[in-house]
Amino acid sequence: MHLEQEFESVRNVGREAVRRAGVILLEGYSRDIKISYKGEIDLVTEVDWASEKEIIRVIHASFPRHGILGEEGGIVPGPGSERWIIDPLDGTTNYTHHFPFFGISIGFESEGEVLYGIVFDPLRNQTFEAVKGEGATLNGTPIHVSETPLLSRSLLATGFSSSQPEDPRRDNLPHFNRFSRKVQGIRRTGSAALDLCYVAMGALDGFWEIGLSPWDTAAGSLIVREAGGRVSDRQDGKHELTSPLIVASNGLIHQEMISLLSEVTC
C-alpha cells in the first residue's frame, strides 16, 4: 500500500474510532454508571473502559499490527514503530458530575513522531484534527491560534494532576498564583485535550500543566502546532510525550510564559 493511501486510512480509522466512542460517551451520560477509584481522587468509569475497548477494536480491525498505548490499560506492543495513543475519555471527573466538558483524544505515532491527532467533543459535535504538515481543522474548517501579543491581554487554562496531593514536585499552585496576577483570566476546564484544542482555535492564548500523560497531549499538541502555535517543555525545549510539564501557546506569549514558569523551581 502507498504511504498516502495508508495515511488516508489512518485518518478514516481515527474518525470512525472517535465517532463510535462518542456514541458510548453520550449513552453513558444519560444513565447511572459504575464508578471506581484509581487513587484517592482519581476516577475511572465503565464508560472509560468501554470507550477504550471500542477504539482499540476499530483500530485493530484495519491495522492489526499497530501498537496501542491506552490510558485504561490497553497497552499492546506492535512489531513496528506505529502506535496509537488513546485517551478514551478526557475529563472523567467532569463527566461523572455532569459538567459538560469532556472529549476523546487519539494520536497516531510513527518512528517516535505524532503524525496525526484527533480530539472529539461529543456534546458539541466538534472534531479537532491535524495531520503533520497539513494544518489543523475544526469540523473540516482550518483553525489558527490567537494573535494576542502579551500575557497581560491573555486568557489561559491550566489543570491540576490528580496525583498532586502526594507529589510536591507536581504542585501547580505556585505557578497558578503567579500567572493569576499577570493575565486576564485562567480557566481550569478539566479536559487537557480540549484545552489544547482551544489554544489551537484561538479561544485560549495559552495553556500549561504539570504531570500530564502521553494520552492527554499526543493529539492536542500536534493540533496546536499545526494551528500555528508553539508547544514546549518548561525550558522551552522540545516537548516529549513524557515531559513533566507542557506549555502551549499562540507563540507570541510563549517566552513570557516560560519566564514566569522559571520563577518557581520544583
The minimum distance between CB 203 and ligand IPD, in angstroms, equals: 16
Site size with ligand IPD, rule: CB under 6 A: 14
Q: Which of 25, 52, 63, 87 lies at the binding interface for Ca ion (CB under 5 A)?
A: 87
Spatial contact of 161 and 170, defined as CB atoms under 8 Å apart? yes
Report the residue number whose CB is nearest to ligand IPD: 159
The minimum distance between CB 218 and Ca ion, in angstroms, equals: 11
One-character DSSP codes across 137-179:
EETTEE--------GGG-EEEE---TTGGG-GGG--HHHHHHH
Which string of x and - marks every residue 86-105 that binds ligand IPD (by CB under 6 A)? -x--xxx-------------
Report the residue number whose CB is nearest to Ca ion: 90
Q: Which of 161, 232, 243, 250 lies at the binding interface for ligand IPD (CB under 6 A)?
A: 161
Q: CA gyration radius for the chain?
A: 18
Beta bridge partners of 105: 87, 119
Q: Which is nearer to Ca ion, 52 or 205 (CB)?
A: 52
Instruction: List, in sequence order, the alpha helices (H) in the chain.
Output: 3-29, 46-62, 92-97, 173-180, 192-200, 214-226, 254-262
Rounded CA-CA distance 73/152 in Å is 41
The minimum distance between CB 218 and ligand IPD, in angstroms, equals: 12
The minimum distance between CB 93 and Ca ion, in angstroms, equals: 10
Residue 90 lies near Ca ion (rule: CB under 5 A) = yes
Residue 192 lies near ligand IPD (rule: CB under 6 A) = yes
What, of ligand IPD, Ca ion, none, does residue 160 touch, CB below 5 to 8 Å by kind?
ligand IPD
Residue 72 lies near ligand IPD (rule: CB under 6 A) = no
Residue 209 lies near Ca ion (rule: CB under 5 A) = no
Q: Which position has the grid cell 486510512?
A: 9
What, of ligand IPD, Ca ion, none, does residue 91 touch, CB below 5 to 8 Å by kind?
ligand IPD
194 to 20, 167, 198, 204, 248: CA distances (angstroms): 18, 25, 6, 11, 12
Q: Which is nearer to Ca ion, 74 or 135 (CB)?
A: 74
The minimum distance between CB 214 and ligand IPD, in angstroms, equals: 12
207 to 41, 159, 254: CA distances (angstroms): 23, 9, 10
Among the listed residues 22, 44, 160, the one whose alpha carbon sits nearest the alpha carbon of residue 96: 44
Residue 107 lies near ligand IPD (rule: CB under 6 A) = no
The CA angle 217-233-10, to the nearest 5 degrees, is 30
Locate 245 and state its grid cell.
510539564
The minimum distance between CB 147 and Ca ion, in angstroms, equals: 29
Contacts with Ca ion, residue ranges (CB under 5 A): 71, 87, 89-90, 216
